[in-house]
Chain A
Amino acid sequence: MSAVAGALLEVRDIVIRFGGVTAVGGVSFDVGHQQICGLIGPNGAGKTSLFNCISGFYRPSEGEIRLEGQRISDLPRHRMMGLGIGRTFQNLALFRSMTVRQNVLAGAHCQGRAGFLAAALRLPASRREAAEAEERARALLALLDLEQFAEVPVAGLPFGWQKRVELARALISQPKLLLLDEPAGGLNHAEVDALAELFHAIRRNFELSILLVEHHMNLVMRVSDKVVALNFGKKIADGTPEEVRATPEVVSAYLGEHAHAA
């Protein structure tokens, strides 16, 4: 409510070490409200480590991460979604034995309050919140064209559709920040085009910010309001897609022309 003034997500001086290896060496950047931010960099740049840190799966060795001013970098990972951080995974992490609808509903877990007893007895409050979740799931399945698969076990769907289910599952809890780990990975051209439009539709409908880690440069440059580029664990550029594209360090990081790097 009051947080509109500052950035939604503040990443401050994050250092991530694995044993003696420094994967991320002091990176800071912001993601604004309803902003789409692309995190790019060559393989091994530390994108995924940083992403896992923001989603609460790694603890930073140094530095802190704040969401709407609240420090989140030392909270347990199951608190993240409740705070408003939804995510998808690079290599699908769906609940494979469950149907598409059940998967999406599972995303609404932290919006429910009903415990074991209330659920077993179907108390009015638990029935009410279940009905609300069902309604949101229906709307999301419609938005993402998943209605025809609603009762199908998710494991049987083609890859691209499974990615959509993950998206729906992350969106049902109405997050403030959506973290997407290589959303275009494994998709064909047409699917990537559809994805770009989908992101804009999602931002409009859900009034959220998106942070995406992506290899697909074309997609990142097309959808992002701002781009943060990493190389060897350091930030080498931070700005609009045009600015980042024009940065010599980015060009050399991608083309391997060390001569240009200043």
Chain B
Amino acid sequence: MASETPLLKRLLGVDQRVFWALGLVLLVAPVFTVESYRLFQLTLAAIYAIAILGLNIITGYNGQISLGHGAFYAVGAYVAAIMMDKMGLPYWSTLPAAAVICGLVGFGIGFPALRLGGLYLALTTFSLAVAVPQLLKYKGIEQWTGGVQGVLVFKPDAPFGLPLSSDQYMYLFTLAMAVLVFVLVRNLMASRIGRAIMAIRDHGLAAEAMGMDIARLKTNTFAVSAMITGLAGALSAIAVEFVSPDSFSVNLSITLFVGMVVGGVASIIGPVFGGLFVVFVPNLAEEISKAAPGVIYGFILILFLFVLPGGVAGLLRRLVARLLR
């Protein structure tokens, strides 16, 4: 009798907690099995995953194309760096501050920009990404931003005398933040607000007929999206121990966009793979060809899009559907 039920259903029947525990072990394992530089890369991947999740909320779920999320990442990173270096505040306090500030900036930009919509919004956000690195170099704020030099900060040591290196601690700290953000976003997207966000993307007119205030919902969604990407930026400043205008070029915004598409548009789990992709695939390309890593990267990217329409998340969805059948 049991043999008739498909494998995955049987496994799921065992106990959901088993899966959660397994997942957690898988996530924590690198702390003890992976050398320090790889661990740093995994930390970065987790940070990018958060940033891409933020982008996915507005672009994937709400259908508003943003080509400028790197700007929010940059603002978050600078908020963290300035708070730590110039104000001597603890690293953890920079995260809520960066989130709130980026949320407000996102709200301020989203309010007028989202009335444009479509390609115009894409260009507006793109111009933001172009402008931000130069704004960060502006002389008038140099005492805070360090101008072209940027700001140096230091990774925190593990607290409570835990026997962990700062790399190990940073990985675990980032991981905890990522899990928190992903769970919150998953809850959000499964709620009435999440349905409204998707409904607006699918059919604006019908969404209005369902009582959804489109302008307000879009603006708030943009703010939340900017908030999450900004939080990732703050984490990156702490993990990389350095911010400078040139680390946040237009390229960063495009990188986040690529990660979103590769991982899976409008998916919660997708950004995890997007984060891994944007951190590790450029390295892989470099290993394959020192002379033309860009060509290899482009090739791998196109290969991905061909083999995995719907991104990695799309593949997972199809696999699960097959196993459940």
Contacts and interface: CB of A to CB of B under 8 A. Distances in A.
A71 B122 CA distance: 39
Q: Which of B210, B212, B214 has the most CB of A within 10 A?
A: B210
Contact of B206 (A93, A97, A119): A93
Interface string A103-125: 00111111010111001111000
Interface string B168-205: 00000000000000001101100111111011011101
Interface string A217-255: 000000000000000000000000000000000000000
B220 A78 contact: no
B266 interface: yes
B192 A77 contact: no
B198 A81 contact: no
Nearest to A107: B210
A55 B209 contact: yes
A152 interface: no
Q: Which of A76, A78, A82, A97 has the most CB of B within 10 A?
A: A78
Q: Which of B193, B209, B212 has the most CB of A within 10 A?
A: B209
B307 to A, nearest CB: 22
Contacts of B161: none
Chain A, interface residues (CB within 8 Å), range? 35 or more
A82 B206 CA distance: 14
A169 B191 CA distance: 16
B206 A80 contact: no
Contacts of A173: 210-211
Interface of B: 184-185, 187-188, 191-196, 198-199, 201-203, 205-214, 220, 224, 266
27 contacts: A76-B213, A78-B208, A78-B209, A80-B209, A80-B211, A82-B211, A89-B206, A93-B209, A95-B206, A97-B266, A98-B199, A102-B195, A106-B199, A109-B192, A109-B199, A110-B211, A110-B212, A112-B192, A114-B191, A114-B192, A116-B188, A116-B220, A116-B224, A119-B187, A120-B187, A120-B191, A173-B210
Interface of A: 55, 57, 76-82, 87, 89, 93-98, 102, 105-110, 112, 114-116, 119-122, 126, 129-130, 133, 169, 173
